[in-house]
């Protein structure tokens, strides 16, 4: 009986910063490849702008989702697991699914792994995973995470996460977003009530890339660091993407395994 050709397509937004990619996207892909040696691993990114930049600047070619799917068809893949490294079920994840399902007839089986934050259990597990790598905060200290934010209705997860931090006992930890709610203005109001002296900033994104380098820790007066310093806080930045946390990468593996099991039904 002929053995089915199986593949796992790992889909990320992408980054043009090589050092953070090596510590995050590359590590997630390596973990998945090691866990599933019988599957061929493929990579695709959803940001066409970053793909074009890498090709122009570094002569590095990364496939779009559609291109990766076409290549897998040429390679004779019959059973496909798609695991996104996306944080939420937002716009990028919806578009990725559309691109894959447009060629669904070319495969015998397709299963999608869930993004990082899909269930309430995921939310709790991820927050514990991240906080386990931070030392306890002093009385005059707060920790503020910067999420991306989106116009998609899935953005509600960020406010839920901010609430969940407090519900789990992390009363001096906050989560805001660059492009949506909770905003910088809402963070400023919440922090005033605690009146901390020291503020730690960290990205709540898979990679510590453009947003972390410019919008979070940059020297520009609009960066979160500059805005918080203008409020009188002593600010330090932790440049560590979620993909660098081993326990977070483990959650992506759990989602991949759930997708694999769903194909057996």
Assess whether pLDDT exceeds 70 at residue 2: no
| CB distance 236 to 179 below 8 Å | no
- Alpha helices (H) in 4-151, listed in sequence order: 18-23, 25-35, 48-58, 65-74, 91-101, 120-131
Assess whether pLDDT exceeds 60 at residue 230: yes
N-to-C CA span, the chain: 20
The H or E element that residue 163 is part of is: helix 156-167
CA–CA dist 46, 66 (Å, integer): 10
Q: Which of 181, 179, 178, 169 is nearest to 201 (CA)?
A: 178
Please compute the mean of the pLDDT values over residues 250-264 and round it to a whole number.
96
Q: Which two tokens stand for residue 136?
A: 């306890």
Q: Which of 71, 73, 72, 97 is nearest to 83 (CA)?
A: 97
Please state the pTM of the whole predicted model. Answer: 0.94
Residues labelled catalytic: 148
Q: Which two tokens stand for residue 10?
A: 């790992």
Q: What average pLDDT does the structure give for the chain? A: 95
CA–CA dist 174, 39 (Å, integer): 39
How big is the chain, counted in residues? 265
Residues 171-203: pLDDT tens digits? 999 999 999 999 999 999 999 989 999 999 999
| CB distance 201 to 173 below 8 Å | no
Q: Which of 90, 98, 223, 220 is nearest to 158 (CA)?
A: 90
Residues 40-74: pLDDT tens digits? 999 999 999 999 999 999 999 999 999 999 999 99
The sign one gets for the Cα dihedral 186, 189, 194, 198 is positive
Assess whether pLDDT exceeds 90 at residue 154: no
CA–CA dist 7, 256 (Å, integer): 12
What confidence score (pLDDT) does residue 151 get?
86
Q: Read out DSSP for 235-253?
A: EEE----GGG-HHHHHHHH
| CB distance 113 to 81 below 8 Å | yes
Residues 70-108: pLDDT tens digits? 999 999 999 999 999 999 998 999 999 999 999 999 999
């Amino acid at each position: 009986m002929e053995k089915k050709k199986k593949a796992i397509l790992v889909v990320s937004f992408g980054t043009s910063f090589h050092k953070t990619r090596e510590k995050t996207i590359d590590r997630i892909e390596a973990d998945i490849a090691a866990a599933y040696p019988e599957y061929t691993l493929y990579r695709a990114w959803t940001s066409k702008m970053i793909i074009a930049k890498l090709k122009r600047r570094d002569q590095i070619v990364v496939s779009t989702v559609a291109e990766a799917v076409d290549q897998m068809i040429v390679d004779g893949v019959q059973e496909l697991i798609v695991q996104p490294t996306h944080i939420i079920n937002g716009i990028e994840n919806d578009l990725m699914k559309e691109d894959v399902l447009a060629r669904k007839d070319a495969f015998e089986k397709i299963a999608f792994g869930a993004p990082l934050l899909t269930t309430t259990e995921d939310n709790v597990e991820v927050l514990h995973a991240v906080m386990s790598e931070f030392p306890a905060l002093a009385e005059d200290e707060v920790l503020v995470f910067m999420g991306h934010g989106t116009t998609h209705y899935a953005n509600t997860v960020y406010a839920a996460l901010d609430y969940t931090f407090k519900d789990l006992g992390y009363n001096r930890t906050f989560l805001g977003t660059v492009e949506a709610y909770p905003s910088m203005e809402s963070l400023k109001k919440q922090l005033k009530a605690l009146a901390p002296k020291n503020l730690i900033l960290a990205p709540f994104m898979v990679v510590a890339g453009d947003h972390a380098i410019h919008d979070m820790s940059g020297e520009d007066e609009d960066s979160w660091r500059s805005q918080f310093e203008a409020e009188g806080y002593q600010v330090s930045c932790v440049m560590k993407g979620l993909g660098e946390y081993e326990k977070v990468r483990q959650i992506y593996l759990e989602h991949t395994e759930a997708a694999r099991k769903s194909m057996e039904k």
